[in-house]
């Protein structure tokens, strides 16, 4: 049996090898219906490299319709708990669509009587980051989560949400969701060491214009856009009202920023608060403790 894989460089015919005895076999389905079963050696946002035994095959992402991994869990080589949040090293690169399937459960819709925003859970006990302006002046806050159950998502509304800390200058707020189901909340990783490059692929998950579980993709335009004495990540990913407070991810599934604003009358002019400000806010949260009076 032979597999023919059409690459940019032309048509390459390779003998299909059997890996039946190997439990770490990934299944890659091409756009033309052909299936390749082989371990994925390396992957980037543009291509995969598959181990066919004596040959390593490069397949462009745009030619792939589906990837089923032998182990679909993202297991970092090294994970670190840093106060309320976690970081990880050596996370594999994946496509935004693949990552969103696992990360979406930790992204919440933040609802108040005056509007809607987004947020993301950083701790299994329910600690959640959002923008200060999303909850400014509000006392009645709800959060909506979506948990995958088979092929469907279960919508869960959390009515008991506490404001823990607020920093209006950074436009950041720390919330705590009450755990009514007595199970750990899903969480996301914060990027350990800041690495932001122009042209780097990123994506946002949030509720723009009230549209829940919306994925928007783009790149970093610059990581040094200055406003009012602070620097922001400028991205071409679409940021709209309702995205505020949601996470901006890299292709390793790490949160690199918190989306918080856009320039009106312009497309591709969205901005996010760099994660270094978020860490400083969390590490010094007692100084910004919320006073309800």
Question: What is the span of the domain harbouring residue 94?
Answer: 82-188+281-286
The model's pTM is: 0.75
Q: Which of 14, 42, 68 is the last residue of a domain?
A: 68
Of 109, 180, 175, the C-alpha closest to 139 is: 175
Residue 118 lies in a domain: yes
- Percent of the chain that is helix, strand, coil (3-state, to 5): 10, 50, 40
Catalytic residue among 244, 291, 292, 293: 244
CATH code assigned at 44: 2.30.30.100
Give yes or no for residue 208 having a pLDDT over 60: no
In a shared domain, residues 173 and 194:
no
Residue 77 lies in a domain: no
Q: Look up 292 and say whether it is catalytic.
A: no
**pLDDT tens string 279-289:** 999 999 999 99
The rounded distance, in Å, linking the Cα atoms of 142 and 65 is: 37
Residue 76 lies in a domain: no
Residue 45 lies in a domain: yes
Catalytic residue among 133, 152, 160, 280: 133
Residue 292 lies in a domain: no
Give yes or no for residue 23 having a pLDDT over 70: no
Q: Look up 169 and say whether it is catalytic.
A: no
In a shared domain, residues 210 and 261:
yes
Residue 291 lies in a domain: no
Catalytic residue among 118, 171, 216, 223: 171
Task: Grade residue 4 by pLDDT with cuts at 50, 70 and 90.
Answer: very low
In a shared domain, residues 259 and 226:
yes
Instruction: Evaluate whether 237 touches 272 at the Cβ level (below 8 Å).
Output: no
The rounded distance, in Å, linking the Cα atoms of 261 and 30 is: 38
Residue 73 lies in a domain: no
In a shared domain, residues 109 and 180:
yes
**pLDDT tens string 266-276:** 666 899 999 99
In a shared domain, residues 127 and 87:
yes
In a shared domain, residues 86 and 28:
no
CATH code assigned at 242: 2.40.10.10
In a shared domain, residues 265 and 213:
yes
The answer for 180, left when phi > 0, alpha when psi is -120 to 50, beta otherwise, is: alpha
Task: Grade residue 10 by pLDDT with cuts at 50, 70 and 90.
Answer: very low
In a shared domain, residues 91 and 174:
yes
In the 8-state DSSP scheme, what is residue 289?
B
Kindly report the average pLDDT of the chain as a whole number.
Answer: 83
In a shared domain, residues 209 and 151:
no
**How much is the pLDDT for 291?**
85
In a shared domain, residues 29 and 88:
no
Number of domains composing the chain: 3
The residue behind tokens 């032309």 is 10
In a shared domain, residues 95 and 166:
yes
Q: Look up 171 and say whether it is catalytic.
A: yes
How large a percentage of the chain has pLDDT more than 90?
Answer: 46
* Lowest mean pLDDT, pick from 21-25, 133-137, 149-153, 183-187: 21-25
Residue 255 lies in a domain: yes
In a shared domain, residues 225 and 130:
no
**How much is the pLDDT for 211?**
53
Contacts 24+ apart (CB under 8 A), 207-212: 207/109, 207/116, 207/117, 207/118, 207/242, 207/243, 207/246, 208/238, 208/239, 208/240, 208/241, 208/242, 208/243, 209/240, 209/241, 209/242, 210/116, 210/242, 211/242, 212/109, 212/144, 212/146
Give yes or no for residue 234 having a pLDDT over 70: yes
């Amino acid at each position: 049996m032979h597999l023919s894989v059409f690459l940019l460089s032309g048509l390459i015919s390779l003998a299909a090898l059997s890996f039946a005895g190997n439990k770490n076999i990934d299944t890659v389905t091409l756009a033309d219906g052909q299936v390749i079963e082989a371990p994925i050696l390396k992957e980037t946002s543009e291509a995969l490299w598959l181990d066919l035994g004596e040959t390593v095959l490069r397949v462009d992402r745009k030619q792939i319709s589906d990837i089923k991994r032998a182990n679909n869990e993202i297991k970092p080589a090294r994970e670190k708990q840093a106060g309320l949040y976690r970081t990880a090293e050596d996370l594999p690169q994946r496509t935004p669509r693949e990552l969103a399937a696992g990360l979406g459960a930790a992204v919440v819709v933040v609802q108040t009587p005056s509007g809607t925003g987004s947020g993301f859970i950083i701790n299994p006990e329910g600690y959640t980051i959002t923008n200060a302006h999303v909850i400014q002046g509000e006392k009645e806050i709800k959060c909506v989560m979506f948990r995958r159950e088979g092929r469907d998502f279960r919508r869960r509304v959390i009515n008991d949400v506490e404001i823990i800390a607020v920093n209006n200058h950074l436009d950041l707020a720390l919330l705590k969701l009450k755990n009514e189901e007595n199970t750990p909340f899903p969480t996301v990783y914060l990027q350990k060491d800041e690495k932001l490059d122009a042209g780097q692929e990123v994506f946002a998950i949030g509720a723009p214009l009230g549209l829940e579980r919306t994925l928007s993709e783009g790149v970093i335009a610059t990581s040094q856009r200055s406003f009012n004495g602070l620097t922001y990540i400028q991205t071409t990913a679409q940021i709209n009202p309702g995205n505020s407070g949601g996470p901006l991810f890299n292709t390793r599934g790490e949160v690199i920023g918190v989306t918080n604003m856009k320039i009106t009358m312009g497309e591709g002019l969205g901005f996010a608060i760099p994660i270094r400000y978020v860490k400083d806010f969390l590490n010094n949260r007692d100084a910004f403790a919320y006073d309800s009076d």
